[in-house]
Amino acid sequence: MAPNAELELNNERSAVIINWDDGHVSKSHVTRLRFHCRCKTCVPSFSGMMPVDKDAFSDDMKITKAEIIDGIFNMEISGEAMDGHVTTIPMTWLRENCRCNTCIDSAIGRSNVKFGNPKNLPSASYESLTTKEGKFECLKKVFDDGFCVIKNVPREHLNVIEVGKMFGYIRSTLYDTHFDVKYEPDPYNSAYTSLGLPYHQDLPYYEAMPGVQLLHAMAFDESIQGGESQLVDLFRVADILRKESPENFEALCRIPGTFQTKDLARPQPAWYQNSKTHIEVDYFGNVVSIHWNPGVEGALCVRQEDEAAYYMAYVHFLRILKRPELEYLFRMQPGDLILFNNRRMAHARMEYKTSEGRRHLQGCYINLDDMKSTYMVLAHQLGKDVVSPKCGNRSWY
C-alpha cells in the first residue's frame, strides 16, 4: 500500500517537498525527480540502455504541476525534452529512496562495518556450503567479521579454487590463478620462507588489489612449531586512529604512500608500482578503503613539507595495528580454509621451524564485488532482510 503524503512546491518551483503522514519530510529537486521517472519510456528495459538523454533538457527546469494520483507521483515541467511527457514515480519508490540527511545517515549506519570480537573465531563447516542457507551464513560472517574459517575442506589439489567459485569468479594475478605457500630452500618471496610475516594486505601495488583471499591448509603437521595465523581488522584500526588523532587520520587520507614490486629475477618478471593513500574516505567522510603492506613499500614520493606528517601518522597507525587486543590469533588445522576480505583485513604469520613436518597452504583470490553480489542474491532468494554492506570496495554500500 502506498504511503499517504501531501505535496508542496518551494518558491522557485525547483523542488517538491513531500510531507508524509508519519511526520517525515522529503525534499527532491526537479532534476532528480525528472531523471528518475519510472514510466515505461524512461526506465530501460534492459541493462546498458540510456533512454533519457539528460543533456537535452533545459538547465533551468521548473515544476508546472505536481500531484499524487492513486499512489503515483505525477509531475509536469517546463524545459521538458520529450513532448507531452509526464514524470511518474510510485510514492513507495520516493519513500524508499528518500535522500534527506536523516535517511542517508540511517542507511550509512545500517551498512557500516560492525567490528567483531577477536576472542571469537567465526567459522563454518564445509558441509554447510552445499545449501544456499549455509553459503549465506558463511558470507554473512565474512561481511560481519571480515573473515570466516571453513572447517574440514577436503585436501585435494586446487580444491581452494572450487571453494572460491562458490562465491565469485577467480581473480588471476602475477601469481597466476592459484599459489602455494610453503617453505622453499631458494625463495623469491618472503611468503615461501619460514620467517614471520608482518601484517599486510596482498598486492596493493595493483590499481585494484584482490578483494578476497582464500588460504587452504593442505598440510600443517603437529611437529611444526609456530606458524600461527594472525588477522587484524584495518577498518577498526582506522576508526581508533581517527578518534585518537584526527590530524594523523587526515594525513593518511591525504598523503599517499608508494607500493611496488620490481623483480625481474622471479619466474614471471614483474614491475608494478602504485601511489595511493593508506586510508580513503568517500563523499560522506566515511572510510571506504585501506591500503597497507610495509613489505612492498617503495620510496616515498611526496612534497617535503608533508614527510614529517606522513611518518608521524604512519607510525601511529602501525602502533595501533600491533595492539594485542585487536588480534585474531589461531593455528590452522589441516583442512581449514580461511576466506577473508583482503580490502579490510590485514593478515600475518608467526615464524615457524621447518626441521620436521610440513606447512603447506594453497591459495587463490576472488573478486570482492562478485562475492558481495553472491551474498545479496542469496539474501534475496532466502527472503533475508539485509542491507548492502560496506566492505572496502571504495563505496559505503
What mean pLDDT do residues 261-265 have?
89
HSE toward the beta carbon, residue 378, CA cutoff 13 A: 20
Question: First and final CA of the chain: distance in angstroms?
Answer: 27
The reply to whether 33 and 71 lie within a common domain is yes
pLDDT at res. 3: 81
- The predicted model scores a pTM of 0.92
Residue with cell 588471476: 172
**Domain count within the chain:** 2
DSSP 327: -
Q: Is residue 394 part of a domain?
A: no
Copy the grid coordinates of residue 375: 551474498
**3-state DSSP call for residue 173?**
strand
User: Which pLDDT band, with edges at 50, 70 and 90, does 89 fall under?
Assistant: very high
For residue 220, what is the domain's CATH number? 3.60.130.10
The reply to whether 63 and 140 lie within a common domain is no
Span of 1-5, 97-101, 115-119, 232-236 with lowest mean pLDDT: 1-5
pLDDT at res. 375: 98
The reply to whether 198 and 277 lie within a common domain is yes
User: Which pLDDT band, with edges at 50, 70 and 90, does 208 fall under?
Assistant: very high
Q: Is residue 105 part of a domain?
A: no
Q: Is residue 106 part of a domain?
A: no
The reply to whether 199 and 137 lie within a common domain is yes
Interatomic CA distance for residues 214 and 325, integer angstroms: 24
Interatomic CA distance for residues 51 and 130, integer angstroms: 42
pLDDT tens digits, 330-385: 999 999 999 999 999 999 999 998 777 899 999 999 999 999 999 999 999 999 99
Last residue of a domain, one of 99, 121, 148: 99
Instruction: Give the angle subtended at the CA of 28 by the CAs of 26 and 30, to the nearest 5°.
Output: 155
For residue 36, what is the domain's CATH number? 3.30.2020.30
The domain in which residue 128 lies consists of 113-382
Q: Is residue 397 part of a domain?
A: no
Q: Is residue 393 part of a domain?
A: no
The reply to whether 301 and 198 lie within a common domain is yes
Q: Is residue 318 part of a domain?
A: yes
The reply to whether 168 and 204 lie within a common domain is yes
pLDDT at 232 over 80: yes
Last residue of a domain, one of 99, 122, 149: 99
The reply to whether 84 and 142 lie within a common domain is no
pLDDT at 39 over 70: yes
The reply to whether 120 and 91 lie within a common domain is no
Q: Is residue 395 part of a domain?
A: no
pLDDT at 263 over 80: yes
pLDDT at res. 123: 98
The reply to whether 120 and 85 lie within a common domain is no
Cβ contact 254:235 at 8 Å:
no
The reply to whether 227 and 125 lie within a common domain is yes
Last residue of a domain, one of 74, 99, 124: 99
The reply to whether 47 and 175 lie within a common domain is no
Report how far apart, in Å, the C-alpha atoms of 215 and of each of 98, 186, 241, 251 are. Answer: 42, 22, 29, 33
**3-state DSSP call for residue 182?**
strand
Q: Is residue 391 part of a domain?
A: no
The reply to whether 68 and 180 lie within a common domain is no
pLDDT at res. 1: 64
